[in-house]
Structure 1
Amino acid sequence: MQYHALSLARHGRGVTLLGYLQTKPHSDVLGNENIRIVPISDLKALQVGPKIFQYVVKVIAQAMQLLYTMLTIDQPSYVLLQNPPGLPSIAVAWVACLVWRSKLIIDWHNYGYTIMSLIHGRNHLLVQIAKWYEKLFGRLSDYNFCVTNAMKEDLWEKCNIKAVTLYDKPASYFKETPLELQHQLYMKLAKVYEPFKAQYVTESVNSSAERSAFTEMDHKNGCVIKTRGRPALLISSTSWTEDEDFSVLLKALEDYERCINEGVKLPSLVCVITGKGPLKEYYNQLIDKLYFKHIQICTPWLEAEDYPLLLGSADLGVCLHKSSSGLDLPMKVVDMFGCCLPVCAIHFECLHELVKHNENGLIFRDSNELAEQLKMLFLEFPTLEGKLHNFRRNLRASKQLRWDESWDQTVLPLFKQNE
């Protein structure tokens, strides 16, 4: 939604951006004079009565809060919202559009009811209500975008909703990170996170150099090089929800550690898992029980400006997003590809619309397959030969379409035709 706001602002449109202000928006959004941010308070759930009663009360309260907030802003020509989350925002936005006589646009990234079904099961009353709600109010929108051709077909066949495919694309700041910036980032993170600190000093290392786990800088000439025998940097990002099973990665890492102990020439690993979410504490407890000698895991929350820098510095990305509907694509892989970062991604129905197996990455189905891919990709690391290098070269050569170009081609005509 920040991308949409920036694209509209770039074309001279005034934008009011409504949402929870739990994390700091990107500096480009904060610094844009055409974008006004209206924060919405996160309501805490009622702690009295049955769970379903608590949920209904919270949804009603959210609906009233959102409608009040929307009706206090200047009347817009369009209301653009992302689904999910669509309960109660789709219905509230539709009511506000009736009052304003504005156009409602929905950007479909998934179905909310399929995410709910991961927790409650597909036949649960709340899931069935959410499914009915999404179909009913989705049909009341004026325009629709969706993230895959598979979802476009599904929306038409099951909901009679006509949508235009708007693939997620990386913003311009998702790119390979220069070595000097890599070093600055590593030194910054090393102040907080142990895996980024220099682990040891070899005889060949310049004694006056400033070191991280991956780089060293000679203070005399400012030259930055990658350290010999450095670990490989593996990164994954997550919202720590039920549609990503990180035990798959942890089991694969156990297999990887065992191979090193058996004498296979594999590098040590620093595994960084970024993000916030409800299951983070659960997985941190699992991680704390692992005893690795050659693998370090950390789970930081990165500033918006640091995240693309880290992606552009990493050696391999891992995606464990397993779509609840089988119809959406992981934005994290889009960002990784923008940084020319090869990816290992877990299989689901329409992933082939983004990840091309053996071309820009690898697709796996379980922890055993992921472990084999990690061992194959990192064998004799960090030589420039092999699949990891080939994937990165293919990503560089692909000259991927960026968000601004894609938005101008797909979304901008809609606004121009209604002027």
Structure 2
Amino acid sequence: MQYHALALARHGHGVTLLGFLSTKPHSDILCNEKIHIVSISELKVLQVGPKIFQYITKVIAQAIQLFYTMLKVDRPSYILLQNPPGLPSIAVTWMVCLVRRSKLIIDWHNYGYTIMSLIHGKNHPIVQIAEWYEKLFGRLSDYNFCVTNAMKEDLQMNCNIKTDSIHPDVEKSAFTELDIRNGNVTQIKERPALLISSTSWTEDEDFSILLKALEDYEEYVNDGIKLPSLVCVITGKGPLKKHYNRLIDKMHFKHIQICTPWLEAEDYPVLLGSADLGVCLHKSSSGLDLPMKVVDMFGCCLPVCAVHFQCLHELVKHDENGLIFRDSNELAEQLKMLLLEFPTGESKLDMFRRNLRASKQLRWDESWEQTVLPVFRNN
């Protein structure tokens, strides 16, 4: 959403950006005179009564808060909303659009109800209500974008929602391969390999797969296979971070070091540009979205190993720009194959990186101008 705001401002539009300020916005947002930030306070859940009562109470309070906040800002011509999260924001923004005669645009990245089903199960009443809600209010939007061909088809067939364009998560200008790779750093013998993964620490990413693969990797090294030591950096914050940090603390590696920092927006691309291999454990709850973390890695010409799901092939081409795995054993074998004799010699890892350099994919700004900007110009 920050990139949408920057793109609109770059084309002369004034933008009001609403959101939580638990993390600092990108510096380009903060210094752009055409972008006005309106912060929304995160509400604490009422810790009384059944869980479902607490949840309903929080949704109602959020709806009132959001509706009141959106009525206070200058009347917008368009309200652009990313989904998920769409509960209660889709219904609230639709009502605001009615009152203020604005147009509602939804940028579909996934379905919120499928994410909820990871916790509660598909047949839970609250998940079924969320599915009904998302499909009903999603049909009331004026325009729709989505991120994959698979999602476009599903929106049309199962939700009766027509998308105006596909705007995939593609490379941003901030994510580039560092010049340092062309220097002497990559020629240092016996240096550790830098493995990077990023996450929101939620149920749709099973990091036990990576931890088990790292245990197998440690065994390979102990068995005398010529593999480098690993520095594994897992960035992000979220509800399951403490759980996985406890598991990591119990692991005693000799050849692997794991750290789980939170990085500011300006620092994350630098880390990706310095890394040797990315790992993605995002397993789409709907099977219809793409992992943005892989897009960012590819922008830095960083090859990836990514866990398989339905439409991943739209982004990761197996054995061309990365590898796709299904379990920890397969991931461990891929790490061994890619890092054998690292960093010297000609490897498949080098081939993947060359393929990414040669792919010449559209950058985010170019794609946005082709797919999103016409909606604003034509309406």
- TM-score by length of structure 1 reads 0.89
Larger Rg: 1
Contact 2:120 2:127 in 1 (8 A): yes
Gaps of 5+ in 1: 183-214, 216-222
Gaps of 5+ in 2: none
Q: Provide Cα deviations, 1:384-416, integer angstroms capped at 9, x if missing partner.
A: 411100000000001111010000000111111
The reply on whether 1:316 has 2:277 as its aligned counterpart is: yes
For residue 303 of structure 2, the aligned residue among 342, 359, 362 is 342
* CA–CA distance in structure 2, aligned partners of residues 122 and 160 of structure 1: 21
The reply on whether 1:303 has 2:264 as its aligned counterpart is: yes
Q: What residue identity is the alignment partner of 2:180? A: L
> Kindly, what percent of the aligned residue pairs are identical?
80
The reply on whether 1:252 has 2:213 as its aligned counterpart is: yes
The reply on whether 1:112 has 2:112 as its aligned counterpart is: yes
Q: Provide Cα deviations, 1:132-153, integer angstroms capped at 9, x if missing partner.
A: 0000000000000011000000
For residue 385 of structure 1, the aligned residue among 346, 366, 373 is 346
| 1:174 counterpart residue number | 175
* CA–CA distance in structure 1, aligned partners of residues 94 and 294 of structure 2: 32
1:282 Cα offset (Å): 0.1
* CA–CA distance in structure 2, aligned partners of residues 28 and 175 of structure 1: 17
* CA–CA distance in structure 2, aligned partners of residues 226 and 238 of structure 1: 30
* CA–CA distance in structure 1, aligned partners of residues 51 and 117 of structure 2: 16
| 1:374 counterpart residue number | 335
| 1:8 counterpart residue number | 8
Evaluate the alpha carbon distance shift between residue 124 and residue 348 of structure 1 in structure 2; reply closer, same or farther with a 3 A threshold.
same
| 2:369 counterpart residue number | 408
1:227 Cα offset (Å): 3.9
**Secondary structure at 2:7 match in 1:** helix
Evaluate the alpha carbon distance shift between residue 238 and residue 83 of structure 1 in structure 2; reply closer, same or farther with a 3 A threshold.
same
* CA–CA distance in structure 2, aligned partners of residues 71 and 385 of structure 1: 60
Q: Provide Cα deviations, 1:188-216, integer angstroms capped at 9, x if missing partner.
A: xxxxxxxxxxxxxxxxxxxxxxxxxxx9x
Contact 2:189 2:344 in 1 (8 A): no
**Secondary structure at 1:312 match in 2:** helix
The reply on whether 1:18 has 2:2 as its aligned counterpart is: no
**Secondary structure at 1:141 match in 2:** coil
* CA–CA distance in structure 2, aligned partners of residues 246 and 225 of structure 1: 28
* CA–CA distance in structure 1, aligned partners of residues 109 and 354 of structure 2: 29
Evaluate the alpha carbon distance shift between residue 266 and residue 143 of structure 1 in structure 2; reply closer, same or farther with a 3 A threshold.
same
1:178 Cα offset (Å): 2.5
The reply on whether 1:263 has 2:224 as its aligned counterpart is: yes
Aligned length: 378
Q: Provide Cα deviations, 1:321-357, integer angstroms capped at 9, x if missing partner.
A: 0000000000000000000000000000000000000
* CA–CA distance in structure 2, aligned partners of residues 225 and 117 of structure 1: 44
1:226 Cα offset (Å): 5.8
| 1:95 counterpart residue number | 95
> Which piece of structure 1 moves more, 98-107 or 382-391?
382-391
1:229 Cα offset (Å): 1.6
Q: What residue identity is the alignment partner of 1:278? A: P
> Which piece of structure 1 moves more, 313-322 or 225-234?
225-234
Q: Provide Cα deviations, 1:281-321, integer angstroms capped at 9, x if missing partner.
A: 00000000101000000000011101001001100000000
| 1:204 counterpart residue number | none
| 2:37 counterpart residue number | 37
| 2:322 counterpart residue number | 361
Structure 2 counterparts to residues 236-251 of structure 1, below 5 A: 236-251=197-212
* CA–CA distance in structure 2, aligned partners of residues 401 and 165 of structure 1: 13
| 2:86 counterpart residue number | 86
- TM-score by length of structure 2 reads 0.98
* CA–CA distance in structure 2, aligned partners of residues 108 and 225 of structure 1: 40
Q: What residue identity is the alignment partner of 2:367? A: S
* CA–CA distance in structure 2, aligned partners of residues 89 and 384 of structure 1: 53
| 1:191 counterpart residue number | none
**Secondary structure at 2:258 match in 1:** strand
Contact 2:177 2:274 in 1 (8 A): yes
1:228 Cα offset (Å): 3.2
* CA–CA distance in structure 1, aligned partners of residues 235 and 297 of structure 2: 13
